[in-house]
Structure 1
Amino acid sequence: MSCSQTVNIARILYPVRALGPGNRLGIWLAGCPRRCPGCSNPELWQAQAGQALSQERLQELLRPFLSREDLGGVVVTGGDPFFQADALLPLLAYLDRSVPDILVYTGYTYQQLLHLGKSARACLQHIGVLIDGPYRQEENDGHPLKGSANQQIYFLRPELRPRYEAYLEGPSHPVQNFTMKHGIISVGIHRRDFADAVAQQAKKKGIILHDRP
């Protein structure tokens, strides 16, 4: 498998505890043509300058996290990872060699992925859990892992089902805030009015927020 394909990576965070069981390595890919109203990451709709990484460089960045004893899994989201299916495949294959619990979010449905192309179908072989479907703001019902009720959870590796069921039945899963160089990244499944609530609180403090689609 060639590793020459570059991949647009927006952020890498650890430990992510709001998107699946355990301490997870979170990888956000940049680029998504869907532009769902109410999307929690509109800044990732388009890749930005400097986000393209070679597979070799990306593996170099990920290697220290994958060797951690407390690593509980990986979550790959975006953007839409399958918007870069050719580049996603070597990334997932690399991750799969180190950790069996790989959760991937996509706005495509599972059936669409089966017809998206050879790379997309091959990606499914390296995914433990897939959450599919576009985000629909009006169907956001507060599920711990799904952004909206139309989305489905596929246990492509059935042995992972009990672990996720225990996670879903456990205590509440609040969003996490990561302090970054240029601001704060809020990670998790946000309620449908989250963006408006944040904007209102910011306005009270004299801060005007702008999306960067």
Structure 2
Amino acid sequence: MNIARVLYPVQVLGPGKRLGIWLAGCPRRCRGCSNSELWEKQEQYEIPLDGLMKLLQPILQRADMDGIIITGGDPFFQAEELFLLLKALQSYTEDILVYTGYQMQEISKGTPAMRDCLKYIGVLIDGPYVAEENNGCHLRGSANQKIYYLKPKLQARYEAYMAAGPNRIQNFAVADGIVSVGIHTRNFQKELAEAARKRGVIIGE
């Protein structure tokens, strides 16, 4: 699998403390994407499933882990690998939230691996990011995206989370800088660059 980053605890993409897994590779290249650095797969991100699961074990076994997020990139761009990952993770929690640029109709009519992924996903948020429709809607980058509760028992939990307040941003310090996680506003990158410039920091392309 091509895995760009693993973060914990993510507390801004669904209820509770969540394990976040970011896959690299996305053919859509949506304008204004907040994770454009993950459009391309990279050789250094390759890791076998057993190696990834070994890496994740200390988090998966934590009593305070409330769920999992899988995003990217686009996880369904690696559908066969995604299916194996979901199958391995489902014994730890039913609350697996997956973001994808594919629409549900495309997935349900897609390859066997794409369809099989749906068996193990708790909540799916589908559809490409459309900058013009980024209006602060809960858990979604843009209003065209839809939330599917594939495990209906999770719906009340997510609705309570969304009712508690607007989208938030969470920053993680990593070896090569800062990773900003969450649903960003339409002008986030411009606003960030301007705020940094005022402090004497130039953010490159």
What TM-score range do you get, normalising by the shorter chain?
Answer: over 0.9
The match for 1:77 is 71
The answer to whether the Cα contact below 8 Å between 2:125 and 2:148 also exists between their aligned partners in 1 is yes
Letter in structure 1 aligned against 2:169: V
Kindly state the Cα deviation for residue 21 of structure 1 after the two structures are TM-superposed.
Answer: 0.3
The match for 2:102 is 108
The match for 1:140 is 134
Q: Does 1:157 align with 2:151?
A: yes
Query: What is the rounded CA distance, in whole Å, between the counterparts of 1:172 and 1:38 in structure 2?
Result: 20
The match for 1:20 is 14
Kindly state the Cα deviation for residue 210 of structure 1 after the two structures are TM-superposed.
Answer: 3.0
TM normalised by structure 2 equals 0.97
Q: Deviations over 1:128-179 (max 9, x none)?
A: 0000000000000102201000000000000000000100101334200000
Q: Does 1:177 align with 2:171?
A: yes
Determine what percentage of the aligned residue pairs are the same residue: 55
Query: What is the rounded CA distance, in whole Å, between the counterparts of 2:195 and 2:23 in structure 1?
Result: 28
The match for 1:61 is 55
Query: What is the rounded CA distance, in whole Å, between the counterparts of 1:143 and 1:13 in structure 2?
Result: 23
Gaps of 5+ in 1: 1-6
Letter in structure 1 aligned against 2:153: E
Which of 83, 87, 94 matches 1:93?
A: 87
The match for 2:193 is 199
The match for 1:11 is 5
Letter in structure 2 aligned against 1:171: G
TM normalised by structure 1 equals 0.94
Kindly state the Cα deviation for residue 187 of structure 1 after the two structures are TM-superposed.
Answer: 0.3
Q: CA RMSD in A?
A: 0.9
Gaps of 5+ in 2: none
The match for 1:35 is 29
